Structure 1
Amino acid sequence: MICGIDEAGKGSVLGPMVICGVAGRSLSDFEDKGFKDSKTLSPSRREQLYEVIVSEFKTAFVILEAQEIDKLRQSHSMNTIVAKSHARAAEMLSVEKAYVDACDVNEVRYGIRVSEYMKNPAVVISEHRADSKYAIVSAASIAAKVKRDRIIEKLSEDFGDIGSGYPSDPKTISFLENYIFNNGECPVIGRKSWKTVSNITGKINQKSIFDF
């Protein structure tokens, strides 16, 4: 068995990071199904393909909530967190070979790290933009993106419109600013270790000082 692994939400300031592994017997199993890098597909198309992926292939999801990411970042870099999560997804699928989207400038080094984090090491093919090169990784990219989008949608129902959760999204920043201003702290769904949060908190505290 082989698998493709990719993640969604690595750089998000709100919500979880979702890592997905999708397994099959050969790369050809994933060809001609319309699997592409999730960023190039419309939300509706991703949803359609997601149903194909979870019904036809074995999948494994690793979901790291914001608080868990903050805790891990006390002793690990974000790339190490992702590498360990990639390894965990591959282990869950019990594969002999894994294709991963490299999260390191050095593709080979990243592949070695992922393999070393596995209890039963597999061959790891690590490449930049693997989600565009290999349909099996595209499938993982799509499934991770849809799973995370569904979680973000549920969080918006609970907390109000939080946008996409990324620092580049004005809705996300507006939500964070209002929440921190009104509650004096970052929401539980926010990654406190992100500079985005500390910058907003510092700006609000500075305004409060000048109010006096």
Structure 2
Amino acid sequence: MSRWPPRFPIRRAASLRTFEFALHRNGLGPVAGVDEAGRGACAGPLVVAACVLKPTQLASLAELDDSKRLTEAMRETLYKAVTKYAMSWSAVVIDADEIDRIGIHVANIEGMRRAVAGLDITPGYVLSDGFAVPGLTVPSLPVIGGDGAAACIAAASIIAKVTRDRIMVAMDGDLPGYDFAVHKGYSTARHMACIDRHGPSVQHRMSYRNVASRVTSDPNPTTIGLSNEC
């Protein structure tokens, strides 16, 4: 009986390309990486991205790494390079209402499926960050710490992070008083103080305990015209 996926040796390659090079050498390319941004936030959307890089190493992408290890300026620079030189990429935005309705883990997995489906080429293999993704039409492998171990996942991580950060900065203008441009919806002390003062906004995830516990008796807290100072 044959095994799937086939077993083959993985030899250490330069930078973060080990997994991709091994898969390409064994006829399983193109390789897509998929990752998310915003899973741990309590406000704003979840953004999931998929990316297929060219099988050759590009000097302009040599600094690819886990997006959380990079400065905002470095992420913006790499975002421009990734979206310019990638064979294909896509980003999916899942809003707070959908996260509340189906749960963050289901939203994460569904977002990964949607992001892969949104690619304009069909990958031969998918590498996902941390989680197995059931329901894909091609073989896949979850990689623990994938955004620091595989270039295609790192590229997807940057697309997801930059896309989400831009959304949160725009949201800060629409909903002043919550400081979204600074904490990007994560549960910092300042963010929690803003919710305590103004109540949750329409962009907060009400299924999250730290948000639900701060609901006031007012069913429609004011979410516009607030001071940016908390």
TM-score computed with the length of structure 2 as normaliser: 0.73
Which residue of the other structure, out of 20, 39, 44, is the alignment partner of 2:68?
A: 39
Which residue of the other structure, out of 201, 204, 208, is the alignment partner of 1:187?
A: 201
Counterparts of residues 57-72 of structure 1 (less than 5 Å): 57=86, 58-72=88-102
Deviation at 1:64, TM superposition (A): 0.4
Aligned to 1:82: 108
One-letter amino acid of the structure 2 residue matched with residue 80 of structure 1: V
Counterparts of residues 58-207 of structure 1 (less than 5 Å): 58-73=88-103, 78-93=104-119, 94-103=122-131, 110=132, 114=133, 116-118=134-136, 121-160=137-176, 161-162=179-180, 163-167=183-187, 169-180=188-199, 186-201=200-215, 204=216
Unaligned runs of 5+ residues in structure 2 are: 1-29, 218-230
Q: Deviations over 1:109-160 (max 9, x none)?
A: x2xxx2x323xx1111211101111111111111111111101100111112
Higher helix share: 1
CA distance in 2, matches of 1:198, 1:79: 18
One-letter amino acid of the structure 2 residue matched with residue 164 of structure 1: K
Which residue of the other structure, out of 1, 13, 19, is the alignment partner of 2:48?
A: 19
CA distance in 2, matches of 1:188, 1:123: 38
One-letter amino acid of the structure 2 residue matched with residue 191 of structure 1: R
Query: Could you say if the C-alpha distance between residues 198 and 125 of structure 1 is closer, same or farther in structure 2, counting changes exceeding 3 Å?
Result: same
Aligned to 1:9: 38
**Larger RCO, structures 1/2 (Cα 8 Å, 6+ apart):** 1
Identity rate of aligned residues, in percent?
Answer: 27
Q: Deviations over 1:55-113 (max 9, x none)?
A: 1112101100101111112xxxx32321221122112222121111013xxxxxx2xxx
**Preserved contact between residue 4 and residue 136 of structure 1 (Cα < 8 Å):** yes
CA distance in 1, matches of 2:58, 2:135: 26
Deviation at 1:30, TM superposition (A): 6.0
- Computing the radius of gyration from Cα coordinates, the structure with the larger value is 2
Unaligned runs of 5+ residues in structure 1 are: 104-109, 181-185, 206-212
Equivalences, count: 180
Aligned to 2:224: none
TM-score computed with the length of structure 1 as normaliser: 0.79
Q: CA RMSD in A?
A: 1.7
Q: Deviations over 1:35-59 (max 9, x none)?
A: 0000110000100000001111121
Deviation at 1:197, TM superposition (A): 1.1
Deviates more, 1:84-93 or 1:6-15: 84-93
